[in-house]
Structure 1
Amino acid sequence: MSVGESTAEQRLVRVGARDIAVTERGAGEAVVLLHGGGPGASGMSNYSRNVDALAQRFRVIVPDLPGYGRSSKRVDRSDPFGDLAGAVGVLLDELGLDRAHLVGNSYGGAAGLRLALERPDRVGRLILMGPGGIGTTRRPPTPGLQRLLAYYGGEGPTRAKLERFIREDLVHDGSAVSAEMIEERYRASIDPEVVANPPLRRPASLRTLLRMDLLRDKRLSRTATPTLVLWGTHDKVNRPSGGRLLAERMPHCDLYLVADAGHWVQWERPALFNSLTTAFLSEESA
């Protein structure tokens, strides 16, 4: 494992031609938490209310996905989910892990699902929260997803645009989000490297869009990976109906619709999320 510059908790792991910033806590079975793709996102900010609770039972690994946080900013936009899935797979290699449980929110959920489809031997159990790529060619994007994809367009990133997205689209109760969180995310979103090369934007071609529609993947109906899908009933970014579509296609998929939550279930309902996650990942494999 190639490790670069470190903070008190975080270190850089060389993954192919990129560096991925990783935070670890706890011991036990490995659980990798994959964050969403909103502006200014990072692993620890996405899972700030979950890591310590999960670390009581598991070895919790929290990367900043490529394009975010302290990780390298390059993402293959012709196949972003495949690129991120591949990076997570190599990260497991560098950490000496043959297999890990994956927990993915939104963009990270799509990456986790793609890895489970391509390398099921590497994934123990899979938890998805409002994952991307579910029926993306079947209906127009939600207003929340449109605002997310347009963040770096037009006049460019602004604090007002980010605040609207977080308070109105990301969570159900926008008043619960602090001004400090908005400011932290905004500052991260205007990193010059990110502005020059945004990690998430509108697909540039129909081919890319089709690659990002994971419901089109015939492997869904054959996957043996035990999967739990959590979806906030007030999700304004990815439609909650996507949960039923996954449960209908995946043979070992449990679905839990979460009341009083939007796109950020793990932050809005942390006690429920932590309890469900611990219980599901602790079950013996079928």
Structure 2
Amino acid sequence: MTTPPALPVMQETTYDVNGKKIFVAETGDGPALLLLHGGGPGASGVSNYVRNIGALAKEYRVIVPDLPGYGRSTKGIDGSDPFGYLAGHIRGLLDGLGLDKAHLVGNSYGASCALRLALDTPGRVDRMVLMGPGGIGTTRALPAPGLNSLLDYYKGEGPSRLKLEKFIRNYLVFNAAEVPDSAIEERYRASIDPDVIAAPPLTRPSGPGAARTVWRMDFTRDPRLKRLPVPTLVMWGAADRVNRPSGGRMLAARMPDCDLYVAANTGHWVQFERAALFNRMCADFLGGHR
């Protein structure tokens, strides 16, 4: 099991964005870089990027928010348009930080947030790195096994440590031994916060508007994708069991300025399992070195 590097000292601030509280940790100097975390149970910004923050902070001002619904940010999101809701709040966070433009790095749910923000307001995004984003061909096939596990976490008998451990070890990573027990425990405790249980941030669309919500969450049906000018690097684990790796080829085929890297023997957490590779490629790409 790999021991994660020690985190640098980080400044912690809570911003008021559209009447919601968004918690942010930041460190480093240089061009602004937002790291947007995934949507699994108990996720948070710093825990998602524990193996990347220190390395990227050598060249960038690294800003790590807890997305709405997660961590120390206000719970609850608009389930009828979750990607748009997240993107609107991160755009509001940019305003609160006094940033006209920033680099965005997103993992899974965070990558979907980044892509939606770029589609809605491309002028606010400098460069973008997306890792296994959700919403790529979602209306064209049944959900992958890992995504089903994620969406059902709060269903049935409700959340449990065993369900969370199975989700993380079986679906998020290629090598289950990479994830320490302490990380499982930390995420489980966060996942059973009463406010989270009352309003889970990522669930299966249901009700009269479900079909419209699913359609809205499929980026490959958005005509703006073919005109998006933001230089983008897509990184995908070849063994991803949450969001299918074929999504990477879909994005590369549609976006006019998109590089694609598929990492062998890697699951959904490219930034965690292949940290050295990710940190090097991310820093180089955001710096304009392809």
Fold match, TM over 0.5?
yes
Q: Which of 84, 87, 90 matches 2:89? A: 87
In 1, Cα distance between the equivalents of 2:56 and 2:82?
Answer: 28
Distance in 1 (alpha carbons) for counterparts of 2:103 and 2:25: 16
**Which residue number corresponds to residue 146 of structure 2?**
144
Aligned partners of 2:237 and 2:269 also within 8 Å: yes
**Other-structure match for 1:276:** 281
| CA–CA distance in structure 1, aligned partners of residues 200 and 283 of structure 2 | 34
Amino acid at match of 2:219: L
State the AA in 1 paired with 2:13.
R
Tell me what 1:173 maps to. 175
Structure 1 CA distance for aligned equivalents of residues 168 and 289 of structure 2: 37
Residue 3 of structure 1 corresponds to none
Deviant stretches of 4+, over 3 Å: none
How far apart in 2 are the matches of 1:46 and 1:280?
20
Structure 2 gaps of 5+ residues are: 1-8
Query: What is the TM-score with the length of structure 1 in the denominator?
Result: 0.96
Select 1:23's aligned residue among 19, 22, 25.
Answer: 25
Cα distance in 2 for residues equivalent to 1:144 and 1:223: 29
Residue number in structure 1 paired with 2:137: 135
**1:10 offset after TM fit, Å?**
1.9
Correspondence for 1:215 among 205, 215, 220: 220
Shift of 1:9: 3.4
Residue 252 (structure 1) aligned to one of 236, 251, 257: 257
What is aligned with 1:186? 188
CA distance in 1, matches of 2:129, 2:253: 16
Query: 1:54 and 1:161, CA in 2 relative to 1: closer, same or farther beyond 3 A?
Result: same
Aligned to 1:4: none
Moved more, 80-89 or 275-284: 275-284
Counterpart CA distance in 1 for 2:113 and 2:287 is 22
- Counterpart of 2:220, as a letter, is L
Query: Normalised by the size of structure 2, how large is the TM-score?
Result: 0.95
What's the offset of the Cα at 1:260?
A: 2.0
Q: Indicate which of 16, 35, 42 corresponds to 1:14.
A: 16
Letter matched to residue 138 of structure 2: T
Residue 238 of structure 2: aligned partner: 233
Classify the secondary structure of the residue corresponding to 1:103.
Answer: strand
- Residue in 2 aligned with 1:48? 50
Measure, in 1, the Cα distance between the counterparts of 2:181 and 2:54: 23
Contact 2:13 2:24 in 1 (8 A): yes
- The SS at the match of 2:73 is coil
Question: Residue type of the partner of 1:55?
Answer: A
The secondary structure found in structure 1 opposite 2:26 is strand
One-letter amino acid of the structure 2 residue matched with residue 246 of structure 1: L
Once the two structures are TM-superposed, the CA of residue 158 in structure 1 deviates from its matched residue by: 0.4
Q: Distance in 2 between matches of 1:129 and 1:142?
A: 16
- Alignment correspondent of 2:37: 35
Structure 2 distance, partners of 1:97, 1:224, is 19
Q: 1:50 to 1:144 in 2, by over 3 A?
A: same
Instruction: Give runs of aligned pairs for residues 41-80 of structure 1, distance below 5 A.
Output: 41-80=43-82
Q: Which amino acid in structure 2 is aligned with residue 30 of structure 1?
A: A
| Cα distance per residue 1:209-243 (max 9 Å; x no partner) | 11111111000000111000000001000000100
Asked whether the 8 Å contact 2:25–2:63 carries over to 1, the reply is yes
Amino acid at match of 2:168: I
SS at match of 2:260: strand
User: What secondary structure is seen at the aligned counterpart in 2 of 1:228?
Assistant: strand
> What SS does the aligned partner of 1:172 have?
coil
Percent identity over the alignment is 62
In structure 2, what is the Cα distance between the partners aligned to 1:42 and 1:68? 6
Instruction: Answer yes or no: is the 8 Å Cα contact 2:10–2:27 preserved in 1.
Output: no
| SS in structure 2 of the partner of residue 261 of structure 1 | coil
Letter in 2 for 1:232: G
Residue 284 of structure 1: how far off its partner (Å): 7.2
Determine the structure 1 residue equivalent to 2:229. Answer: 224
Cα offsets for 1:45-95 (capped at 9, x unmatched): 000000010000000000000000000002000000000000000000000
Residues matched between the structures, number? 279
Paired residues of 2:76 and 2:196 also in contact (CA < 8 A): no
